[in-house]
């Protein structure tokens, strides 16, 4: 009997950014760059008639457009259906890009890759890429969508840097870093970014994405009083699974709407493998990963990105999840 060969999942990039930031410019670069991959695209926007699709350059890649509403608010079912149809022709493309409207909250799009079993079996979320307009972002800080798009990002393309001074750019990078300590930031002009920084990077994979510096908050967290920020919890010892489940359940019920992203690697008591957590709002996914290596220090690293989060309260409540012999490092 022949063994079945499991096909690799298709990497998916969610491309987001506020109105006019340069998403379509970046998408065109992805489509025309000679990176050796065939890219399928789902373009989405408000309204019955698509406009963005007319701006996408003529390329060999397949373009699929969703109308009748935004992916993120009304037609997640359509997104699942279109991905399902694409998978029937998966031999025709290597990578899928989903471009959201400039007014989109990326969370429901991201959640699709957690919630639907068929989508999870056939695809994996490679990265959330957010394009930020360095010149105009100051006008949009009050727009909830702009802050959320930054908070959800794995990669931030800081576009139009030629229109700001070096001092303004440095201040902007510090502010963004305080909002999202995990994202990689690439300054750019005309959305010119190396494809190696965007495609096939597995930035949503914690093994590659989570590089926590326990001291990063000392540099950025108190330089501004913005509501959206990153908080890192680093604890030695082992976590009690039952206490952890109760804590996360209560936390997500109370504050889930304000927790945009949660990433973490935990040392669970009685488990020889690292336990990886990913969260988007009130949706949480946790599973054992690879075994702890003999040369690794077993510890717990959690990063919360969200609005109006209380670091001291999070630290104290997480400490209560540790096994009796453990304490915060």
Residues forming a β-bridge with 273: 291
Max Cα-Cα span within the chain: 66
* 127: phi then psi, degrees, rounded to nearest 5: -170, 150
Q: What is the pLDDT of residue 178?
A: 87
Average pLDDT per block of 10 residues along the chain, 329 residues long? 63 90 89 82 58 52 53 61 85 87 74 83 92 89 82 93 95 91 92 93 64 41 57 89 91 86 88 86 82 89 87 91 65
Q: What is the pLDDT of residue 214?
A: 40
This model's pTM is above 0.85: no
Domains of the chain: 10-204 (3.40.50.300), 223-319 (3.30.1220.10)
Provide the CA 81 distance to its chain's centre, in angstroms.
Answer: 22
- Number of Cβ within 10 Å of residue 277's Cβ equals 17
The residues, ordered by sequence, that sit 6+ positions from 1 with a Cβ below 8 Å of its Cβ are none
| Sign of the CA dihedral with 192 first, then 132, 201, and 300 last | positive
| Sign of the CA dihedral with 144 first, then 147, 153, and 159 last | positive
- Nearest in space to 278 (alpha carbons), one of 310, 253, 303, 244: 303
The residues, ordered by sequence, that sit 6+ positions from 2 with a Cβ below 8 Å of its Cβ are none
Q: Are 145 and 172 in contact (CB under 8 A)?
A: no
299-307 β-sheet, strand order: 228-236, 299-307, 259-266, 273-280, 283-291
Q: CA-to-CA distance for 232 and 13, rounded, in angstroms? A: 25
- Nearest in space to 166 (alpha carbons), one of 134, 191, 133: 134
């Amino acid at each position: 009997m022949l063994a079945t060969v499991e096909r690799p999942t298709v990497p998916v990039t969610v491309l987001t950014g506020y109105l006019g930031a340069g998403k379509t410019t970046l998408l065109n670069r992805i489509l025309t760059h000679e990176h050796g991959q065939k890219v399928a695209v789902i373009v989405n926007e408000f309204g019955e008639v698509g406009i963005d699709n007319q701006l996408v350059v003529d390329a060999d890649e397949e373009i699929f457009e969703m109308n009748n509403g935004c992916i993120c608010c009304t037609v997640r079912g359509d997104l699942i259906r279109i991905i399902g149809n694409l998978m029937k022709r998966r031999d025709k493309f290597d990578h899928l890009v989903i471009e959201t409207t400039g007014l989109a909250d990326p969370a429901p799009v991201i959640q699709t890759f957690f919630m639907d079993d068929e989508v999870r079996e056939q695809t994996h979320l490679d990265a959330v890429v957010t394009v930020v307009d360095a010149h105009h972002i100051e006008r949009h800080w009050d727009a909830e969508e702009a802050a959320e798009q930054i908070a959800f990002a794995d990669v931030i393309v800081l576009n139009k840097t030629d229109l700001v001074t070096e001092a303004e750019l440095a201040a902007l990078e510090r502010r963004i870093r305080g909002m999202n300590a995990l994202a990689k930031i690439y300054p750019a002009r005309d959305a010119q970014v190396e494809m190696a920084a965007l495609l096939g990077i597995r930035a949503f994979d914690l093994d590659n994405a989570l590089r926590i510096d326990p001291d990063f908050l000392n540099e950025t967290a108190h330089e501004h009083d913005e509501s959206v920020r990153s908080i890192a919890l680093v604890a030695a010892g082992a976590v009690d699974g039952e206490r952890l489940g109760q804590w996360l359940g209560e936390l997500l019920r109370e504050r889930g709407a304000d927790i945009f992203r949660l990433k973490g690697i935990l040392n669970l008591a009685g488990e020889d493998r690292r336990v990886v957590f990913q969260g988007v709002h009130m949706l949480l996914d946790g599973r054992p990963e690879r075994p702890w290596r003999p040369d690794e220090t077993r510890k717990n690293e959690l990063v919360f990105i969200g609005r109006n989060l209380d670091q001291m309260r999070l630290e104290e409540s997480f400490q209560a999840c540790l096994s009796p012999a453990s304490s915060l490092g």
